[in-house]
Chain A
Amino acid sequence: NAGVTQTPKFRILKIGQSMTLQCTQDMNHNYMYWYRQDPGMGLKLIYYSVGAGITDKGEVPNGYNVSRSTTEDFPLRLELAAPSQTSVYFCASSYFPPGSSYNEQFFGPGTRLTVL
Protein backbone atom coordinates (compact mmCIF):
# COMPACT_ATOMS: atom_id res chain seq x y z
CA ASN A 1 0.00 0.00 0.00
CA ALA A 2 1.14 3.51 -0.78
CA GLY A 3 -0.74 4.84 2.26
CA VAL A 4 -1.61 8.53 2.04
CA THR A 5 -0.22 10.42 -0.92
CA GLN A 6 -0.30 14.17 -1.50
CA THR A 7 0.41 16.29 -4.54
CA PRO A 8 2.11 18.62 -5.19
CA LYS A 9 5.01 18.55 -2.73
CA PHE A 10 5.77 22.23 -3.21
CA ARG A 11 3.87 25.13 -4.70
CA ILE A 12 4.25 28.90 -4.92
CA LEU A 13 1.10 30.94 -5.52
CA LYS A 14 0.49 34.60 -6.13
CA ILE A 15 -2.08 36.41 -4.00
CA GLY A 16 -5.56 35.80 -5.34
CA GLN A 17 -4.72 32.64 -7.26
CA SER A 18 -6.57 29.38 -6.69
CA MET A 19 -5.37 25.84 -6.40
CA THR A 20 -6.36 22.37 -5.27
CA LEU A 21 -4.22 20.22 -3.02
CA GLN A 22 -4.74 16.57 -3.80
CA CYS A 23 -4.92 13.76 -1.23
CA THR A 24 -5.47 10.08 -1.91
CA GLN A 25 -5.39 7.06 0.37
CA ASP A 26 -5.48 3.40 -0.61
CA MET A 27 -6.29 1.91 2.80
CA ASN A 28 -10.07 2.10 2.34
CA HIS A 29 -10.36 4.44 5.33
CA ASN A 30 -13.66 6.21 5.75
CA TYR A 31 -12.19 9.06 7.79
CA MET A 32 -9.95 11.72 6.31
CA TYR A 33 -8.51 15.01 7.57
CA TRP A 34 -6.73 18.15 6.42
CA TYR A 35 -4.32 19.97 8.73
CA ARG A 36 -2.07 22.96 8.33
CA GLN A 37 1.14 23.55 10.21
CA ASP A 38 2.73 26.97 10.48
CA PRO A 39 6.45 27.24 11.31
CA GLY A 40 7.22 26.17 14.87
CA MET A 41 3.58 25.41 15.62
CA GLY A 42 1.46 22.32 16.05
CA LEU A 43 -1.07 21.11 13.53
CA LYS A 44 -4.43 22.78 13.18
CA LEU A 45 -7.39 20.95 11.72
CA ILE A 46 -8.96 22.60 8.67
CA TYR A 47 -11.64 20.14 7.58
CA TYR A 48 -12.43 16.50 8.01
CA SER A 49 -14.68 13.90 6.46
CA VAL A 50 -16.39 10.86 7.92
CA GLY A 51 -17.26 9.32 4.57
CA ALA A 52 -18.00 10.03 0.95
CA GLY A 53 -20.26 13.05 0.66
CA ILE A 54 -19.85 14.10 4.30
CA THR A 55 -17.49 16.84 5.44
CA ASP A 56 -17.23 19.07 8.48
CA LYS A 57 -15.26 22.11 9.60
CA GLY A 58 -12.29 21.95 11.91
CA GLU A 59 -10.55 24.74 13.84
CA VAL A 60 -9.47 26.90 10.89
CA PRO A 61 -11.77 26.37 7.87
CA ASN A 62 -11.93 29.95 6.58
CA GLY A 63 -10.48 30.35 3.09
CA TYR A 64 -10.72 26.65 2.25
CA ASN A 65 -13.20 24.26 0.73
CA VAL A 66 -13.27 20.47 0.54
CA SER A 67 -15.22 17.75 -1.20
CA ARG A 68 -15.36 13.99 -0.78
CA SER A 69 -16.89 12.31 -3.80
CA THR A 70 -15.03 9.01 -3.30
CA THR A 71 -13.63 7.11 -0.32
CA GLU A 72 -10.09 7.46 -1.67
CA ASP A 73 -9.88 11.17 -2.46
CA PHE A 74 -10.19 14.27 -0.29
CA PRO A 75 -9.04 17.40 -2.18
CA LEU A 76 -8.56 20.75 -0.45
CA ARG A 77 -9.36 23.88 -2.44
CA LEU A 78 -7.96 27.38 -1.89
CA GLU A 79 -10.06 29.88 -3.81
CA LEU A 80 -8.29 33.22 -3.26
CA ALA A 81 -4.83 32.59 -1.89
CA ALA A 82 -3.56 34.94 0.80
CA PRO A 83 -0.11 35.22 2.44
CA SER A 84 -1.66 33.96 5.70
CA GLN A 85 -2.20 30.62 3.98
CA THR A 86 1.52 30.06 3.61
CA SER A 87 1.98 26.82 5.50
CA VAL A 88 2.63 23.09 5.24
CA TYR A 89 -0.55 21.13 4.60
CA PHE A 90 -0.97 17.56 5.78
CA CYS A 91 -3.67 15.12 4.81
CA ALA A 92 -4.43 12.14 7.04
CA SER A 93 -6.80 9.20 7.22
CA SER A 94 -7.95 6.76 9.86
CA TYR A 95 -9.76 3.44 9.97
CA PHE A 96 -11.58 4.19 13.19
CA PRO A 97 -13.81 7.24 13.69
CA PRO A 98 -12.19 10.43 14.94
CA GLY A 99 -14.06 10.12 18.22
CA SER A 100 -13.16 6.49 18.92
CA SER A 101 -10.90 5.33 21.72
CA TYR A 102 -8.35 4.20 19.13
CA ASN A 103 -7.73 6.96 16.65
CA GLU A 104 -4.47 6.23 14.89
CA GLN A 105 -4.20 8.62 11.99
CA PHE A 106 -1.94 7.98 9.01
CA PHE A 107 -0.40 11.10 7.56
CA GLY A 108 0.78 12.01 4.10
CA PRO A 109 4.17 13.65 3.43
CA GLY A 110 2.73 17.16 3.21
CA THR A 111 2.49 19.98 0.70
CA ARG A 112 4.58 23.08 1.30
CA LEU A 113 2.67 26.12 0.04
CA THR A 114 4.00 29.66 -0.22
CA VAL A 115 1.74 32.58 -1.15
CA LEU A 116 3.54 35.71 -2.32
Chain B
Amino acid sequence: DAKTTQPPSMDCAEGRAANLPCNHSTISGNEYVYWYRQIHSQGPQYIIHGLKNNETNEMASLIITEDRKSSTLILPHATLRDTAVYYCIVRPAPSGNTPLVFGKGTRLSVIA
Protein backbone atom coordinates (compact mmCIF):
# COMPACT_ATOMS: atom_id res chain seq x y z
CA ASP B 1 0.00 0.00 0.00
CA ALA B 2 1.12 3.59 -0.66
CA LYS B 3 2.08 5.44 2.48
CA THR B 4 0.35 8.56 3.73
CA THR B 5 1.55 11.58 5.67
CA GLN B 6 -0.77 13.54 7.93
CA PRO B 7 -0.13 16.30 10.45
CA PRO B 8 -0.29 14.89 13.98
CA SER B 9 -2.78 17.46 15.21
CA MET B 10 -4.98 20.37 14.15
CA ASP B 11 -7.39 22.79 15.79
CA CYS B 12 -10.58 24.18 14.30
CA ALA B 13 -13.11 26.68 15.63
CA GLU B 14 -16.63 25.37 16.06
CA GLY B 15 -18.83 26.23 13.07
CA ARG B 16 -15.89 26.73 10.73
CA ALA B 17 -14.76 24.34 8.02
CA ALA B 18 -12.13 21.81 9.06
CA ASN B 19 -9.68 20.99 6.27
CA LEU B 20 -7.58 17.92 6.97
CA PRO B 21 -4.69 17.33 4.55
CA CYS B 22 -3.12 14.05 3.53
CA ASN B 23 -0.06 13.51 1.34
CA HIS B 24 0.22 10.28 -0.65
CA SER B 25 2.90 11.12 -3.17
CA THR B 26 3.60 7.48 -4.10
CA ILE B 27 0.00 6.62 -4.86
CA SER B 28 -0.54 4.58 -8.00
CA GLY B 29 -3.34 4.63 -10.50
CA ASN B 30 -5.58 1.99 -8.99
CA GLU B 31 -5.27 3.05 -5.37
CA TYR B 32 -8.20 4.55 -3.49
CA VAL B 33 -8.08 7.16 -0.73
CA TYR B 34 -10.13 6.28 2.35
CA TRP B 35 -10.93 8.39 5.39
CA TYR B 36 -11.99 7.04 8.78
CA ARG B 37 -12.29 8.78 12.10
CA GLN B 38 -12.10 7.59 15.69
CA ILE B 39 -13.86 9.46 18.43
CA HIS B 40 -12.26 8.96 21.83
CA SER B 41 -12.67 5.44 23.24
CA GLN B 42 -14.80 4.30 20.30
CA GLY B 43 -14.11 2.14 17.28
CA PRO B 44 -13.22 3.87 13.99
CA GLN B 45 -16.02 5.07 11.72
CA TYR B 46 -15.95 5.17 7.92
CA ILE B 47 -16.32 8.68 6.46
CA ILE B 48 -15.70 8.67 2.73
CA HIS B 49 -13.47 7.33 -0.02
CA GLY B 50 -12.54 8.23 -3.60
CA LEU B 51 -10.31 7.41 -6.55
CA LYS B 52 -9.96 10.46 -8.80
CA ASN B 53 -13.04 12.63 -8.59
CA ASN B 54 -14.06 14.75 -5.65
CA GLU B 55 -16.64 13.06 -3.46
CA THR B 56 -19.29 14.38 -1.08
CA ASN B 57 -21.63 12.70 1.33
CA GLU B 58 -23.65 13.73 4.36
CA MET B 59 -20.57 13.73 6.58
CA ALA B 60 -17.81 15.32 4.53
CA SER B 61 -16.23 16.19 1.20
CA LEU B 62 -13.08 14.66 -0.23
CA ILE B 63 -10.96 16.75 -2.58
CA ILE B 64 -8.25 14.87 -4.49
CA THR B 65 -5.66 16.84 -6.43
CA GLU B 66 -5.39 16.26 -10.15
CA ASP B 67 -2.04 14.47 -9.82
CA ARG B 68 -3.56 12.46 -6.92
CA LYS B 69 -0.52 13.03 -4.75
CA SER B 70 -2.56 14.64 -2.00
CA SER B 71 -6.11 15.01 -0.76
CA THR B 72 -8.12 17.05 1.72
CA LEU B 73 -11.02 15.97 3.87
CA ILE B 74 -13.42 18.82 4.51
CA LEU B 75 -15.90 18.94 7.35
CA PRO B 76 -17.95 21.96 6.26
CA HIS B 77 -19.26 23.08 9.66
CA ALA B 78 -17.26 21.45 12.41
CA THR B 79 -18.97 20.76 15.71
CA LEU B 80 -17.55 19.68 19.05
CA ARG B 81 -18.65 16.13 18.24
CA ASP B 82 -16.22 16.11 15.31
CA THR B 83 -13.29 16.11 17.73
CA ALA B 84 -11.55 12.84 16.84
CA VAL B 85 -8.52 11.24 15.22
CA TYR B 86 -8.86 11.20 11.44
CA TYR B 87 -7.12 8.50 9.41
CA CYS B 88 -6.20 8.81 5.75
CA ILE B 89 -5.62 5.41 4.17
CA VAL B 90 -4.50 4.54 0.66
CA ARG B 91 -5.16 1.09 -0.66
CA PRO B 92 -5.25 -0.73 -3.97
CA ALA B 93 -8.49 -2.19 -5.22
CA PRO B 94 -9.33 -4.78 -6.03
CA SER B 95 -6.47 -6.34 -4.08
CA GLY B 96 -7.41 -9.80 -2.99
CA ASN B 97 -8.00 -9.90 0.73
CA THR B 98 -5.62 -7.15 1.84
CA PRO B 99 -7.33 -5.27 4.66
CA LEU B 100 -6.94 -1.60 5.54
CA VAL B 101 -3.75 -0.36 7.21
CA PHE B 102 -4.27 2.42 9.75
CA GLY B 103 -1.49 4.94 10.49
CA LYS B 104 -1.41 7.43 13.38
CA GLY B 105 -3.82 9.92 11.82
CA THR B 106 -4.52 13.57 12.65
CA ARG B 107 -5.99 14.50 15.99
CA LEU B 108 -8.59 17.21 15.26
CA SER B 109 -9.71 19.35 18.17
CA VAL B 110 -12.80 21.46 17.58
CA ILE B 111 -12.80 24.43 19.92
CA ALA B 112 -15.88 26.31 21.10
Q: Please tell me if B96 contacts chain A, counting CB pairs below 8 Å.
A: yes
Binding stretch for chain B, among A13-21, A38-46, A62-70, A78-86: A38-46
- The answer to whether B44 touches A98, judged by C-beta atoms less than 8 angstroms apart, is no
Given A92-B43, A101-B32, A107-B45, A43 contacting B102 (CB threshold 8 A): yes
On chain B, the number of residues with a Cβ less than 8 Å from chain A's Cβ atoms is: 26
- The answer to whether B99 touches A107, judged by C-beta atoms less than 8 angstroms apart, is no
Q: Please tell me if A105 contacts chain B, counting CB pairs below 8 Å.
A: yes
Residues in chain B within 8 A of chain A (CB atoms)? 32, 34, 41-46, 49, 51, 87, 91-105
Q: Please tell me if A103 contacts chain B, counting CB pairs below 8 Å.
A: yes
- The answer to whether A97 touches B91, judged by C-beta atoms less than 8 angstroms apart, is no
Q: Please tell me if A74 contacts chain B, counting CB pairs below 8 Å.
A: no
Q: Could you list some 17 contacts between A and B, CB below 8 A? A: A33-B99, A40-B104, A43-B44, A45-B99, A45-B100, A48-B99, A97-B94, A99-B96, A99-B98, A100-B94, A101-B93, A103-B93, A103-B100, A107-B42, A107-B45, A109-B43, A110-B42
What is the CB-to-nearest-CB distance from B90 to chain A, in angstroms, rounded to a whole number? 12
Complex interface: chain B residues within 8 A of A102 (CB): 49
Bound together, the chains give a CA A58 to CA B105 distance in angstroms of 20
What 3 A-B pairs have minimum CB-CB distances, sorted nearest first?
A107-B43, A101-B93, A42-B102
What is the CB-to-nearest-CB distance from A103 to chain B, in angstroms, rounded to a whole number? 6
Complex interface: chain B residues within 8 A of A48 (CB): 97, 99
Complex interface: chain B residues within 8 A of A107 (CB): 42-45
Complex interface: chain B residues within 8 A of A4 (CB): 43
Question: Which of A43, A44, A99, A108 is in CB contact (< 8 Å) with B93?
Answer: A99
